[in-house]
Each structure stands twice: as structure tokens, then as C-alpha cells.
Structure 1
């Protein structure tokens, strides 16, 4: 270590004082000829400081008695005592320690009595600085249990004991971490259980203590209700927190903090904690837990989806709320914000204003527009949207044939997915074995776990849904077409909350230009329906998504499953989507990921099997870095075929 590497808080003057030696101090009067001494007492944890219900626990009084005996042996009297109840010695930033150093700087002291060197510091650098400060003030450090003094052998012993204290601290931390990682990998809970669960201790038949997790009988059902209620889409965090307070949900009391109602921030933490779906997280690595889950993975995923959607910038009610907030945009591309200014008579006027102009982020010169004009323009735009009854019948016929063809092809896909699932599960086991053997770092373990977990989730969801996906997709399609055939009338009669849901479900953006013309950008599912080719010769209409992961049939199933509503017709739409979205999740991953890519619908091959020359060409191109998707499109085969031929 060089001087430039030293901590900025290091007192080099104190280190030099270690070489100069102690300065002499006069013995104060009134001590009966005895030398003044101070004692420093410390325990590492709050539990030690209050053990057996005693005010100072058991260790502090024992250290005090030993210090008093040592002072008698030295012919000294303790004039000040500094107690550190429940503070680690890994750092010198301790209140009582700093008070002690301030005391010796202003008062004559001959001895500083400690029980052991590790009571003062568990860091060699801190120990050297503290010792130098004591010597500079003319104070001799005395250990009750160790033979340290200012002689060469005493200094050597001091250095050895300080090194042992530091080694003990570092080694203990490493061993504790290793044990907690092992416990988490076996599905145990390595820390305090979250609200809704209890840490319990039981004794088995052989007298061994077993630490386990049990459901909290007072809070578990309320936590389950919180997830179920928020997954319905009808609650905000603040209203749900108030409801939970009304139902009696409080935090667990501790010796330092009493029980209190769950805040909005704590509720958000609860709803985003994967522990409630049976997953243990330790050091950013996740493991399947052995505790009883309070919610299903489907409910947890739906909650995360709603949390993300409710976190849209511009869609949160601040002072005033309106059902168009977050959905409408100015022609310059910025959102229109809702304002309610008042004139000198106190009359309020509702306007939409361009945020680009209002916040001076754009050169937009658009003036404010009255809210009722925006509402009228959008209501009129809805009258121009949708399809006729004849168009709906033809679209239903075309897409129905596509769904039937895809359903017939699902047998081959199920076999491919089952094989890939077995391969991923084997990889998961090998990954954990390599981690236990310290063969891979923790960050790589986390990355690989995330990849395998996402792939398995997509494959399992796909396998679960293969039997009913296309049937439910037809139900969802029928519900959408029912809405689209009478969209203008439905929107005109809807309540504000229902209009908000329709806007968010049907369109990614509604733009109002300077001339107050309305243009809409439908979501992908609606755009696909409206763009369907209903000509008699069309044999495949369902498009493939941009990532090359197969058709977006799942969009027909769960695109709007989270929009609850009060109007009967919208309720039917939501019901159909909820029915079809049971466990269906859109594949997640890179376009060339063989596990994710294969979870989409296979593209049926209409040509003869690949020739040897084609296989050789495919392998050569793959070796040159050509992607699996590109090769699948070039040769007109499924991605799984490319993987099988080129691996």
C-alpha cells in the first residue's frame, strides 16, 4: 500500500506518535494517590446487550467486574466507563469509542482497560490508529485477558492478537455466508421471514433444534387477499393499503418498534417479493423454497404486470385525475397533461396542455385545448373505428381456420418442448453443483439461473396451454370482434373508468394534432385483426412477431386480461380473456434462444425433407455466425430443426 492508497480519514500524525512514544501526564488529585483509568466495554449484538431480559445482558457486567479487578491490580481507579451495547468492531465509527477518544484528549488518563483486544477493534488499521491515539495522549492500553504492554514482546503480542481478531471476523463472515448460501440452496429461509410468515423453532425427537417457517395465522390470509385484490386491477396501492388497515393488517412488533399499519411503500415491497410465490432470494440469486407459498405464480405475475402498467409516466393521479391522462399525445409527440386553472373569480377551467411546451422541453407552440373538446373528438374517433358485422364474420372464419391448423400441429411441438424442458432441468442441476464446488462466480450463477428460469417458465406455460390455447384464443377473438362491431356506441355509453380501460386496452397512443384531428395507434392484437386478409385464397393470416418467435396467438388470449370493468359487454370481454390467459405467458428471451423460440407455434413445412447438401450448407452458415432464425427462414424450416441439424 502506498500513501496514495491510504484512506482519507487516516491520521498520519497519530501513526507518527506511535513511534515518538507516550507523553507524561500528571496524576490528578482526589484519587487517593491512584492512577486514573477508563474502561471500554462492548458486545457485538443487541441480543447480547439485553439477554435474559436484563438491562445490560450478561457480558457487560462481567466485563465491568474484570476491569475493576484489573484496575485494583494496577493501583488505579476507573474514573470513566464507556459502554458499546450491540456494535460491531469492524469499523471505528462507534459512538462510545469516539466519546472515549474525545475524553482522553481533554482529561488526564493513565490506563485504558479492555477485556480483550477484539473488544477495541477487529480491523488492524483501526487498531493501529486507536492505539496511536492512546499513546499520543499518554494512555497505556491494558487487556484483562491478554499480556500486552509497551515492551517489545507486549507490542508483538498486541499485533498478533489484533491480526487474530481481524482473521476471526473475516473468517466468521465467510463461514456464515457459506452456511446461508447452503441453506438457501436447499430451500430454507436464510433471513427474517417477511410479513405473513413466522420464524419458528421446534425440537425434534432427538432433541435437535429445527428452525423453520410457518404461516402467520393473523396475517397470512390478509397478505393473500392483498395479492388477489391487486391482481383484479380494481385497486390502487393507496386504496388497498387503507383497506388492509381497516381489516387489521399490522407489521410485527419488535423490541424497538411497535406494530403499525402497512404503508403504501411497504405494500409495494410485499407485492414485489417473490418469496410469497415460493422463491427464496439470497445475494441476488433465487432458489425454489420449501415454505408454503401464499400466492400462485400466475397471480404473482399478474400483479407485477399491473404494477408496471400503473407506473406509466403521466398516468398517475397527482392533484387532479382524468380518464384520458396518459393515453393522449400532442402532435409533437409529447403527452398532453391535465390542468385545472382558476380565474380571479375562482371558476375552474379544465384544459389539456402539451407537456413539451409546458415544461419547455420542445418548441411546440400548441395552445391549451378545453377538456370537453378533446373528449368529443375522441368519442367521434371511436365512431370511425371497428369493423362491420360482415367483416367480423369473415375475420372470424379466416383466423378460426388458422387456429385450427395450429392446434393440429401442437403434437410435434409438445414433444420438442418436453425434450427441451428435460435438458434445461439437467442444466439447472449441473449449475448448482458447479456453484457448490466454487467453479462459477455468483454473478454468472445469477445470470444463468435467470435464463433457465425464464425458459422453463415459458416452456411450462406453453405445455400447460397447448390443449386449450387455440380454443380460448377463439373465445377471445369472438369477444374482441363483438366489441369492435359496436365500438362507438360502447364507448359513448361507458363510464369514465371504463373509457380509460378501453383506451389502454385498444390503443398504444391517441394523438390530437394542432387542427384537433385524432389519430390512433392500435395495440398489436387489434392491429392484427383489423389488418386480416379475408380473401378466400388466404391460407395463413396470423403474422409472426418481430423477434421471430412465432405467431402472436397468445395476444388474442391475454392481451386485455387485466382490465376489469363494470359494463356487461366489457365484462364478457375480460371474462373471455381471463379464461384464455390462465397460465399463458408470452415467451421471453433472445430471438435466437432455442428454448424460448421453440415455445412459439411451429411454421409448418410444405416442402420435402432437407437434403444432405442443404444440411451441409446450413451447418456451414451456422458456423459463420448466421442466426438460427435467419437459417429457418432461408430453408423454410422450424428453428428447432436448425438446432437439431447444426448442434
Structure 2
């Protein structure tokens, strides 16, 4: 018969022989602790009852109970466990009772450390369902059960990860859905539990609006954030965390998340998702372009915003030009561009302030100097079309070989994935193998793109750039502030204002090629050669040199044009340099198999 307990001096229950015990209860998830609509679910009461029976069999009284309602056993950083260890150091406790050893720890190191602290406090660890005590056989069982618990935990983690990888490969969402979507549990007609993703009717429209608004280039992330808060966008409430306003850092994370265009990324691998995209793919890519443009221009919400800020620099010291407002005696405000280096005393620059209106006019006038005349533009288009046609026609053999190579790599990727599902390839080796094959596939795909789609994309891109460069003065003069900002970022990496109030620019790579005088001369020479004009009047390029107030005349008729074989080769190398063609477009040499290491 179990020994009876009587109240002690402090009112706590004490066994007649004076033995005291503490009880430790744990479940791994909040869901387990609240299953069945009960405050403690089903597992915690069952553990408590088993621990109480064990205490009675030991003739001890449980004086304190420590409950962990939803904490993993893979770490010792658990509130109730730490309170238990502190309690036994301060109170004369004889036993620490757990339902099973795996309730206390899920790996041998943590188990040994906890057991050591209990023994240092004079406390014996007791399992309600396992034969664990301080005898040699009990300690052997303890070690075995601890190893089993660790194996179970590690094996479970491996199996769960394997299942999540397979789920992602099938288009499922293995993690918590981002804002705008809901994780939903359903049951099918057979009563099976189905976990799926649905569009959140209350939040998805705000997410879609944020993408569409930012894609216009008229909003900063700070403005998007403030508008989303004003619209009432909040996080999805959970049993542990109530709904709260979106954090500012979440806006950038949301705008760069490919999940919204239909992709799922897990363990560094991207898969086509089965969920419904709430952002059109072209809008998503447009947002990435705007984000990149804003970042490259140092774009952020400013006290004094202006479409030239972040693009104009001091020609003397290279510092950015910032806006400063000066107030006259009559109360009128005059905005000036001032050198940030001089303003902050970081440099010894003596650049005086200059009215914003004057800088605006100088930049607008500069577009007159870079506008490409119609005859040069037509010549460049013709030369480019001929080069792209030649590239496409000479690539059939290499295209076939690269297609075979691509199929081989894709077969290897599928084989490695099947080996992982069969248990023959661990996840870390799968990731390494998939990364290696992905690099090979990217290389082959890049070469195929250089033979096919990249040619057409580059041709289209250059045609659009030439059209813009042929009418850039009008576009800039008639455009909105947003259009002017994006034009400056498209044409120039930097706009310098020199000491004599002249404009000097660093063109971007794409427009640098088209605005380059040598390229324009080459195009006119090509056009002359195609017209078979052995003798013609001298033609000149007589428009302002980019970055200078002077004009420059260039003789073209007297130039001995390069042969048709070498001239496109130079152009091809230039296109590769600016990134409009892949690195393999400079050669038509066909190889049996590309080097993919």
C-alpha cells in the first residue's frame, strides 16, 4: 500500500519518511498541449498520473511540478527545465520523476549534463515507465534509453526533412505561408488530413497592391509600409501570437519573395509551386528592377526628395550632391544642390552651392548632346541585325550538341533525386550534387540562350535602347519626375557637375556602347560599304560630344572600312563586354562537350 503523506511545516505535502520529489512533464508542441479543446490536451494529464503513481511507489511526495507545454527536447534552453534545476539546488529533493527519459532530453550530451546537475544536487532521476535508477543495470538502461531517444530525434528530423523536400519538389509549401496566404487543414473524401495553402481573402489584395504600386517607381519601401499600415494590413494571428501590424523589415522581404509569383524555395532549391500566384510574373520582375535601381541610386525616403538626388555628384571631390533649402529675407525658399563632402567637412572641397533649377536645366541640355542622329541610328540597327542573323545561322551544330548535354545533366539530376528518396543519398550530398549539376546546367543553358533567345532579347533590347537614345531629349523634357529619374539611372551611372558648371557623365554599359563614337563611326562605315559607294561626299558626325560643350566632326568617307568578317567580330566582342551576349558568343567554335567543372 502506498505510503501516506502529511502536511509539512511550509504546508507542502511530505511523505511520512520525509522523501520529496519533483515531477517534470513535457510535450513538444502547443498543439499537443491543447488537443481535444482541453487546457492540457491528453498527454500532460497522462504523464502526471504516471509520475504520481511512481512517486507513491517510492514512498515520496511530489512537492513541485514543472510543465513544459510545447518545448522541444533537443535543447536545454527550456523555461520549466531551468526552473527545475534551480529548484533542486535550493530544496532538499530526493527524486526527479519523468514519464520517460526522452521527456527530459533528446540527445546524450544534454541528458548527461542534466543528469550531472541533478546528481550534484543529490537528486535521483527516476523514470515512471523505464527501469532507471542508480544501480549499474539501471544506469546501463539509462544510457541505452538516452541513445534511443537521440536516435529517434535525429532520425525523425531526417525523415521530416526528406518529406519536406519531396513536398516542395511536388509544388507544396513546406514552411509557413507568407502574408497574403493561409496554411489550411482540410479532410478529403476519405477522411485523410490534407494541409494546403489558400489565398488569404483579407490580406492578399494588399500584397498585390504593394507590388503593383512599387512597380511604378513612384513609391519607396517606406511609403509602401506606411500605406499598408494605413490600409490595416496585419499579420495572421496564431494561438501564441495575436495579429499585429506588419514590421517595416517585412516589406522588403515581401517584395523580393518569389513565392508570390508562384515559386517555392526550400533548402536553397527553387521549385514550381502548386499555389495560386497573387502577383503577375512581369510585375514581380519589374519590382526587382525598381528595387535594384533605387538601391544603386542610394534611393530612400528623404526629407528633400528630387529626381536628381542619388545620381548627381560633385565633379571636384566625387561626393554626392545634396539638397539644402535657403530662405531669403522675404521668406522665399530657394533649393540648392550642395556638395555633401563639403557640407559634412569630410573633404576639402570648395564647390559652391548651385540652384537646383540650374542643375535641372544643365542635365536636360546634356541630353541634346547624346541624342543619336537618325542616319547613325539606322546604320547601327542594320549592322546589329546582320550580326545577329549571322550568329543565329552559324549555331545549328552547337545547338544540337548543347541540347544533348542539357538532357544528360537533367537525367542526372532526376537520378540523384530518386536516389535520395530511396535512402541511398543523404540530404547534404543531394544538396552538393544538385548544386554541382545546377552549375553545369546553368552553363549549358547560358550557351543555348546565347545561341537562341539571348540573340533575340539582345536585339530587342538594343533596338529599344537605340529608339530611346534617338529621342532622349524629348523623352526627358516631357517626362514626369519619375521618368526623368529612371532615364538618368538607365543612361548614366553618375552625373558629375564640374567646377565650370558643365556636365560630365559616366554612361551605363548598354548606353555606353551605343553612345560610343567609335561604334557610331563603325556603323556609318558599315552602311557605306553595304551601299557599295566607292566615292562619296564626306559625311560627318556633327553633334555635341557627350560630356562636353564642344562639337566634333568625324571623317567617315576617308576611313578604309574593315572587312565584313572582322568588323562584326569587334561588335560581337563589344556586345559581350556590356553583357548583351553571353560569354560564348565571341566564338563559333563547336566543341564536343563543354568543360563544366
Pair 1:110-2:94 in alignment: yes
Q: What does residue 467 of structure 2 align with?
A: 478
Number of residue equivalences: 537
Q: What does residue 233 of structure 1 align with?
A: 217
Q: Is the 8 A contact 1:396 1:477 kept in 2?
A: no
Q: What does residue 280 of structure 1 align with?
A: 264
Q: What does residue 6 of structure 1 align with?
A: none
CA drift at 1:127: 1.8
Q: What does residue 449 of structure 1 align with?
A: 438
Distance 1:220 1:543, change over 3 A: farther
Q: What does residue 385 of structure 2 align with?
A: 403
Counterparts of residues 619-630 of structure 1 (less than 5 Å): none
The one-character-per-residue Cα deviations of 1:104-123 (angstroms, maximum 9, x if unpaired) are 11111121111111111122
Q: Is the 8 A contact 1:528 1:543 kept in 2?
A: no
CA RMSD between the two structures: 3.8
CA drift at 1:419: 5.7
Q: Is the 8 A contact 1:277 1:293 kept in 2?
A: yes
Further displaced range: 107-116 or 120-129 = 120-129
Mapped to 2, the partners of 1:398 and 1:546 lie a distance apart of: 13
Distance 1:113 1:218, change over 3 A: same
CA drift at 1:145: 0.6
The one-character-per-residue Cα deviations of 1:60-102 (angstroms, maximum 9, x if unpaired) are 1221122222222222211111111111121211111111111
Q: Is the 8 A contact 2:21 2:55 kept in 1?
A: yes
Q: Is the 8 A contact 2:316 2:499 kept in 1?
A: no
The one-character-per-residue Cα deviations of 1:543-563 (angstroms, maximum 9, x if unpaired) are 8689776597xx9xxxxxxxx
Q: TM-score normalised to the size of structure 1?
A: 0.72
Q: Is the 8 A contact 1:277 1:297 kept in 2?
A: yes
Q: What does residue 71 of structure 2 align with?
A: 87
The one-character-per-residue Cα deviations of 1:206-249 (angstroms, maximum 9, x if unpaired) are 55444333434444454344334433333332333444456665
Pair 1:155-2:142 in alignment: no
- SS of 2:97's partner is strand
Pair 1:511-2:496 in alignment: yes
Q: What does residue 509 of structure 2 align with?
A: 524
Further displaced range: 80-89 or 361-370 = 361-370
Pair 1:307-2:296 in alignment: no
**Which of these residues, 42, 45, 66, is aligned with residue 50 of structure 2?**
66
Mapped to 1, the partners of 2:257 and 2:241 lie a distance apart of: 22
**Which of these residues, 516, 537, 551, is aligned with residue 528 of structure 2?**
537
CA drift at 1:393: 2.9
Unaligned runs of at least 5 residues, structure 2: 1-7, 420-424, 531-563
- SS of 2:31's partner is helix
Q: Is the 8 A contact 1:509 1:522 kept in 2?
A: yes
Q: What does residue 402 of structure 2 align with?
A: 420
Mapped to 2, the partners of 1:443 and 1:360 lie a distance apart of: 51
Distance 1:196 1:29, change over 3 A: closer
**Which of these residues, 339, 349, 361, is aligned with residue 354 of structure 1?**
339
CA drift at 1:204: 4.5
CA drift at 1:282: 1.3
Q: Is the 8 A contact 2:23 2:64 kept in 1?
A: yes
Mapped to 1, the partners of 2:447 and 2:344 lie a distance apart of: 42
**Which of these residues, 109, 116, 123, is aligned with residue 125 of structure 1?**
109
The one-character-per-residue Cα deviations of 1:34-68 (angstroms, maximum 9, x if unpaired) are 42211111111121122222222221122112222
Q: Is the 8 A contact 2:20 2:92 kept in 1?
A: yes
Distance 1:473 1:182, change over 3 A: same
Mapped to 2, the partners of 1:476 and 1:549 lie a distance apart of: 13
The one-character-per-residue Cα deviations of 1:557-581 (angstroms, maximum 9, x if unpaired) are xxxxxxxxxxxxxxxxxxxxxxxxx
Counterparts of residues 161-560 of structure 1 (less than 5 Å): 161-204=145-188, 206-244=190-228, 249-312=233-296, 314-332=298-316, 334-340=318-324, 350-358=335-343, 362=347, 364-387=349-372, 391-400=373-382, 402-403=384-385, 406-407=388-389, 410=392, 413=395, 416-417=398-399, 420-421=402-403, 423-437=405-419, 438=425, 440-446=429-435, 448-449=437-438, 452=441, 456=445, 459=448, 463=452, 470=459, 474=463, 477-483=466-472, 487=473, 491=476, 494-530=479-515, 531=517, 532-533=520-521, 534-535=524-525, 536-538=527-529, 550=576
CA drift at 1:146: 1.0
Q: Is the 8 A contact 1:286 1:446 kept in 2?
A: no
Mapped to 2, the partners of 1:402 and 1:293 lie a distance apart of: 38
Q: Is the 8 A contact 2:405 2:444 kept in 1?
A: no
CA drift at 1:139: 1.5
Q: What does residue 576 of structure 1 align with?
A: none
Q: What does residue 558 of structure 2 align with?
A: none
Q: What does residue 563 of structure 1 align with?
A: none
Mapped to 1, the partners of 2:407 and 2:114 lie a distance apart of: 54
Q: What does residue 534 of structure 2 align with?
A: none
Q: Is the 8 A contact 1:37 1:71 kept in 2?
A: yes
Mapped to 2, the partners of 1:344 and 1:477 lie a distance apart of: 45
Unaligned runs of at least 5 residues, structure 1: 1-26, 556-585, 592-596, 599-628, 633-637
Further displaced range: 160-169 or 282-291 = 282-291
